[in-house]
C-alpha cells in the first residue's frame, strides 16, 4: 500500500469524526477534566477544573466505571471460563484437565500484566465518551501488554457485520523514543529532530486494517490477517510494515445507533443536567456570598473615609444623621436553588445507575427479595452487557489465548483436541446475576410440584443430579468443593452395598426369629 492511500483514508476518517470532537470535549470539560484535551491543545499540568462548580457527575461516572470493573473483570474473582463446544469432550478427564490448566495460565498471565489498571481506564472512557480503545500486544517480559488509548488519537471504521476492523491512530512520542523503537527506519525528519532536540514530540501515524494479501499458508508477518503500518504523515515516509493474526485492538461501544460508528455514553444523556447543575451551583454560590457578605448602601455625601467591612471594622458617621451604612437586600432565596439542584443531582445519578449500584438492602430483606433487586439491576444493564461481551470480552480473551498459545505458554493439548472449538463462558458477578432468574424459577417450580409428589409420580420428571449441577453452576459454586461424577457413583455404590448388607442381616435375623418361634411347635408335633 502506498503512502497516498493511507493519507487519504486517514483524512476520510478524520472528517467523519469531526462532529463528535466538540461533543467529547464538552463532556470531558464537565465529567472527565483530566482528559479534556480532545480538540484543545493543553500544556502539561495546567488546571482543568475551572468550569466545574459541582462534582456530582465526576463521582457518578467514576462509580459506574469502577462498578463495571468490579462486576465484569475483577481480579479477585474468576470472570471467565472456557468450555468445549462438544459436550462429549467435557466428560473426558484429560481434555477437562487441559482446559482447566489453560484457564489458570491465562489468569496468571493477566494478573502479572498491566491489565487491571488499563482496563479500568477502558471503562472510564466507555462511560464518558461512549467509545473506548485498548491495544493488546505481545511482550517479551510480561507476555502480554495492554495500553488504553485516548479517544482523541483513534479513527475507526466498521466492517459489514458492524464490528470495528480498521483503525488509524495519530499519536505523539518524543523523537528519542521514536528512534529507540524504530531505529533508522524512523526517517530522516525524525532522526534529525532526535539529534538536535531529542525530547521534542513528533507525530506518528499507525494503521491496522484487514490485509488484502492475507495468505494463511505463508509464515511471514506481511501475509497475516491484519496489516500494521507505521508511517510519518508529514513527510510521507513509511516507517514499518508488519501484521497481526488477530485484530490487536478492543474497541467497545456503550450504545450505538445503526447509522453511526461511534458509541453514545451515559455522560451524553446526563450532559444537559450536568451543565444546568453547574450553572445553578454557580448561581447559588453567588447568592450565598451576597447573603453572607451583602453589598452595602453608603450615602454619597457623608462618608469620606473608605468603608471598612472586615470583622471589627469601625465606620464613623455624623451624630444625629439618618444616613448610615446599610446592607442591600437582594432578595436571594438559596433554599429554592438548593432544591432545584437536588432534582438535577437525582437525574444525573439515574443516568449513571448510581441508585442501582448503591442499593441499600434492609437487614429484614429475605434472600428472594435481594435476588429480585439484583435481577432488576441486571435488566437495566442487559443491553450494555451484551455489547460488552461481543465487542470487548470475547475478542480480549481470544487475543490473549492465541498470544499464549503461540508463545507455547499453554499446556500441550491432547491429540483428541485437534480441530476442536472452545467456547468462552462469562462467570463474573454481573453475568451470574443475570441468570439468577433461572434459580428463582426452579425454586418456585419445586415449591409447587413437591406437594403433588405425595399423591402423583410427578417427581420422576426431575433429574436431581442435573438440577444440583445447574444450580451450583449458576450460583458460581467453586468446582473444587463439589465431588466428581466418579466419586458420587462410588459413594452411591457403597451406600447401596451397605443397604443390601443391612437388608440381608435383617432378613437373617427375621429367619432366625421365625426359626426360634417354630422350634417349640416342631417339638410338640414330634411328641
For residue 77, which of 480, 476, 482 has the smallest C-alpha distance?
A: 476
CA 27 from chain center: how many Å? 20
Scanning the structure block, which residue is given the C-alpha cell 495468505?
215
**String of DSSP letters for 67-109:** HHHHHHS-TTS---EEEESSHHHHH-HHHHHHHHHHHHHHHHH
Contact 346, 312 (CB under 8 A): no
How is the chain split into domains, by residue range? 441-482, 493-527
pLDDT tens digits along 20-36: 999 999 999 999 999 99
The SS3 of residue 287 is helix
Nearest to 128 by CA among 278, 268, 21: 268
Q: What angle do CA 466, 472, 477 make, to 5 degrees?
A: 150
Across the chain, mean pLDDT equals: 83
**What is the spatial distance between Cα 56 and Cα 269, in angstroms, rounded to a whole number?**
14
Q: Answer whether 290's CB lies under 8 Å from 330's CB.
A: yes
Give one word for 421, left, alpha or beta, with left for phi > 0 and alpha for psi -120 to 50. Answer: beta
pLDDT in tens, the chain (527 residues): 688 899 999 999 999 999 999 999 999 999 999 999 998 888 888 888 888 989 999 999 999 999 899 888 988 888 888 887 776 666 667 777 888 889 899 999 999 999 999 999 999 999 999 999 999 999 888 889 999 999 999 999 999 888 999 999 999 999 999 999 999 999 999 999 999 999 999 999 999 999 988 888 777 778 899 999 999 988 889 999 999 999 999 999 999 988 899 999 999 999 999 999 999 888 888 877 777 777 777 776 655 567 777 777 766 666 666 677 777 777 666 677 778 888 889 999 999 988 777 765 555 667 666 666 666 767 777 778 888 988 999 999 999 999 999 998 988 887 777 777 788 877 776 666 666 667 777 777 777 777 777 777 777 777 777 777 777 776 666 666 777 777 788 888 888 888 888 888 888 777 777 666 656 655 565 55
CA distance 36 to 27: 8
Q: Which residue has the cell 438492602?
A: 361
pLDDT tens per residue, range 464-507: 777 777 777 766 666 667 777 777 888 888 888 888 888 888 88
Supply 230's cell numbers: 507505521
CA–CA distance, 79 with 429 (Å, rounded to integer): 7
CB neighbour list of residue 61: distance below 8 Å, 6 or more residues apart: 31, 32, 124, 127, 128, 266, 267, 352
What are the cell numbers at 431? 453475568
- Termini Cα distance of the chain: 120
Of the CA atoms within 13 Å of residue 276, those in its CB half-sphere come to 16
H helices present in 113-202, as ranges: 115-129, 175-182, 188-196
Tell me the whole-structure pTM to 2 decimals.
0.81
Which residue matches cell numbers 507455547? 408
Element (H, E) at 296: strand 296-297
pLDDT value for 142: 82
Which three cell numbers, joined as nine digits, stand for 447?
415449591
Across-strand partners of 204?
Answer: 171
Beta-strand pair 164-174/201-210? antiparallel
What's the grid cell of residue 97?
484437565
- Indicate the length of the chain as a whole number: 527
What's residue 412's pLDDT? 84
SS3 150: coil
Amino acid at each position: 500500500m502506498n503512502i497516498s492511500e493511507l493519507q487519504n483514508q486517514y483524512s476520510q476518517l478524520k472528517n467523519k469524526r469531526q462532529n463528535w470532537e466538540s461533543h467529547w470535549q464538552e463532556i470531558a470539560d464537565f465529567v472527565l477534566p483530566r482528559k479534556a484535551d480532545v480538540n484543545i491543545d493543553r500544556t502539561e499540568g495546567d488546571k482543568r477544573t475551572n468550569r466545574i462548580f459541582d462534582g456530582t457527575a465526576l463521582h457518578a461516572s467514576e462509580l459506574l466505571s469502577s462498578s463495571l470493573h468490579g462486576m465484569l473483570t475483577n481480579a479477585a474473582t474468576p470472570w471467565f471460563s472456557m468450555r468445549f463446544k462438544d459436550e462429549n469432550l467435557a466428560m473426558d478427564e484429560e481434555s477437562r484437565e487441559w482446559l482447566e490448566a489453560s484457564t489458570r495460565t491465562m489468569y496468571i498471565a493477566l494478573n502479572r500484566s498491566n491489565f487491571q489498571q488499563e482496563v479500568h481506564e477502558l471503562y472510564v472512557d466507555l462511560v464518558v465518551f461512549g467509545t473506548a480503545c485498548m491495544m493488546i500486544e505481545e511482550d517479551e517480559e510480561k507476555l502480554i501488554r495492554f495500553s488504553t488509548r485516548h479517544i482523541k488519537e483513534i479513527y475507526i471504521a466498521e466492517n459489514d457485520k458492524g464490528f470495528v476492523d480498521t483503525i488509524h491512530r495519530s499519536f505523539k512520542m518524543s523523537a528519542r523514543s521514536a528512534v529507540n523503537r524504530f531505529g533508522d527506519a524512523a526517517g530522516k525528519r525524525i532522526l534529525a529532530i532526535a539529534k538536535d532536540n531529542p525530547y521534542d514530540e513528533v507525530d506518528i501515524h499507525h494503521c491496522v486494517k484487514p490485509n488484502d494479501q492475507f495468505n494463511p499458508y505463508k509464515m511471514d508477518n506481511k501475509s497475516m490477517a491484519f496489516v500494521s503500518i507505521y508511517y510519518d504523515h508529514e513527510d510521507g515516509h513509511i516507517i514499518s510494515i508488519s501484521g497481526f493474526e488477530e485484530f490487536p485492538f478492543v474497541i467497545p461501544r456503550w450504545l450505538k445507533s445503526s447509522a453511526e460508528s461511534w458509541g453514545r455514553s451515559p455522560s451524553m444523556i446526563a450532559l444537559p443536567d450536568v451543565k444546568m447543575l453547574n450553572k445553578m451551583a454557580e448561581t447559588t454560590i453567588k447568592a450565598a456570598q451576597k447573603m453572607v457578605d451583602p453589598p452595602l448602601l453608603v450615602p454619597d455625601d457623608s462618608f469620606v473615609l473608605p468603608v471598612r467591612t472586615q470583622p471589627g471594622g469601625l465606620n464613623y458617621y455624623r451624630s444625629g444623621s439618618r444616613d448610615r451604612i446599610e446592607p442591600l437586600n437582594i432578595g436571594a432565596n438559596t433554599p429554592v436553588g438548593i432544591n432545584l439542584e437536588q432534582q438535577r443531582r437525582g437525574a444525573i445519578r439515574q443516568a449513571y445507575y448510581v441508585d442501582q449500584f448503591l442499593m441499600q438492602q434492609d437487614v429484614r430483606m429475605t434472600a428472594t427479595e435481594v435476588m429480585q433487586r439484583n435481577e432488576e439491576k441486571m435488566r437495566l444493564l442487559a443491553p450494555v452487557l451484551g455489547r460488552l461481551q461481543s465487542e470487548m470480552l470475547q475478542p480480549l480473551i481470544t487475543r490473549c489465548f492465541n498470544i499464549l498459545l503461540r508463545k507455547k505458554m499453554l499446556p500441550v493439548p491432547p491429540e483428541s483436541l485437534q480441530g476442536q472449538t472452545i467456547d468462552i463462558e462469562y462467570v463474573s458477578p454481573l453475568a451470574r446475576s443475570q441468570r439468577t432468574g433461572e434459580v428463582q424459577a426452579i425454586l418456585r417450580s419445586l415449591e409447587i410440584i413437591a406437594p403433588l409428589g405425595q399423591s402423583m409420580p410427578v417427581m420422576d420428571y426431575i433429574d436431581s443430579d442435573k438440577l444440583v449441577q445447574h444450580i451450583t453452576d449458576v450460583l458460581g459454586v467453586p468446582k473444587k468443593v463439589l465431588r466428581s461424577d466418579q466419586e458420587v457413583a462410588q459413594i452411591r455404590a457403597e451406600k447401596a452395598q451397605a443397604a443390601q448388607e443391612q437388608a440381608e442381616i435383617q432378613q437373617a435375623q427375621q429367619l432366625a426369629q421365625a426359626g426360634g418361634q417354630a422350634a417349640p411347635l416342631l417339638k410338640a408335633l414330634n411328641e
